[in-house]
Structure 1
Amino acid sequence: MSAETYAALAERILATEPRLGPVRLVAVDGPSGAGKSRFAGRLAKVADIPVVHTDDLLDGWDDQFTFWERLEEQVLDPLRHGRPATYRRYLWHREEFGADPVTVEPGPAVLLEGVTAARRVIRPELSYSVLVTAPPELRWRRAIARDGRDDVAFRAYLERWRANEDEHFESDATAAHVDLLVDGAAEGTDDRYERLRPAPAD
């Protein structure tokens, strides 16, 4: 395990070739509670690039994997053709999509953060991919704290969600195909993170 600055990672990413049309699509994948959002947010700030969160495109809990068609139509395909992407965020507290559109320009790079962001179907068009991981117990505590719920119904949803994640990551062999494996259990800092497996070019 070794520390690296987000600035160094951003430099490496921006040196890659665009594969989603004119855009360098960077996937930040990993199970719930691993620290994906924190990692993606810090990287995006340093690199000055936008983040699309897959959770914003899910139509509720039962859309865990089937949201991809919506992502493809509203985000990936427009960017692939050099056009701005426009989508509406799902409002989890209201269980519906909001009215205000979110626009993402086809700039040098775009971060796609969320479970299955590096799934097999998009790998050929990824310029870079990251898997953030952490121990199951820590991920569970983080998920409970993040959502502010610890009732029976929520625990049932979360247990099913995590079981589906485990099955996906195993069948999709995500860890074997990403460019970088990140230790999401390490707190890190605003400018550094801990990597478990360096990128192949290192």
Structure 2
Amino acid sequence: MVDPPGLPEPLDELAAEYRALPPSLGPVRLVAVDGHAGSGKTTFAGRLAAALGGAPVVHLDDLATHEEPFGWVGRLRRQVLEPLAAGRTAEYRVYDWTLRRFAGVRRAPAAPVVLVEGVGAGRRALRPALAALVWMELEAKAARARGELRDGPDLAEFWAGWARAEHAHFAGDPSRPYADLRVDGVTGRIVRSTLGEPATRP
């Protein structure tokens, strides 16, 4: 993930806010970081995890596949959400994008705050389990250009297919209107509201 330029603000205050939220999934406060591919989700989630003292981060790229870029809800629920809700460490299988199969296992302990980052992290099926939802504010074309620059020409065909799948996903199940806050995908600055839109979640 390419770090966004600029001087992003410290996240200590936001981390304190998240620690103070009521648990949303058993003993866990589950915080989602969503946005278009290439918008800076992984970078921001890493910074926020550090501000939280090393909070676990579940990357949805580990659960998605070539055949099912957005068909990971069942895997996430069974392997991550259900164990965390019971106060147990989650153990989930990781998809290898080169081998095109699941290989290896990662773990996420039931920490006070657990982050889940990736395209669709704030989707309808997950929102009831979330304590907070962050949206990376970078429009799809700019985010894709950043991702293609990062990954090189060999993955141009993959990006074209991904862009179609992502567009279809957000058209039917948008996350942005339900975000509690938004983060500028270029500068990393926190935006508490955008265009006067309410930040309400069901």
* TM-score interval (norm. to shorter): 0.7 to 0.9
Deviation per CA, 1:122-170: give whole Å up to 9, x if none: 112210110113134432232123323x14xx33331231222223223
Partner of 2:150: 146
Letter matched to residue 112 of structure 1: V
TM-score (norm 1): 0.85
Partner of 2:17: 12
Distance 1:18 1:135 in 2: 31
Partner of 1:89: 94
TM-score (norm 2): 0.85
Q: Which SS does the other structure have where 1:132 is aligned?
A: strand
The 5 A counterparts of 1:1-202 are: 4-48=9-53, 49-58=55-64, 60-99=65-104, 101-148=105-152, 150-151=153-154, 154-186=155-187, 193-198=188-193
Deviation per CA, 1:78-112: give whole Å up to 9, x if none: 1011111001222212222223x212111101000
Letter matched to residue 56 of structure 1: D
Asked if the contact 1:27/1:129 (under 8 Å) is kept, the reply is: yes
Unaligned runs of 5+ in 1: 187-192
Structure 1 segments (4+ residues) deviating >6 Å: none
Identity of aligned residues (%): 41
Unaligned runs of 5+ in 2: 1-7
Q: How many residue pairs get matched? A: 187
What is the deviation of 1:4?
4.4
Letter matched to residue 19 of structure 1: S
Distance 1:10 1:106 in 2: 17
Structure with greater proportional helix content: 1
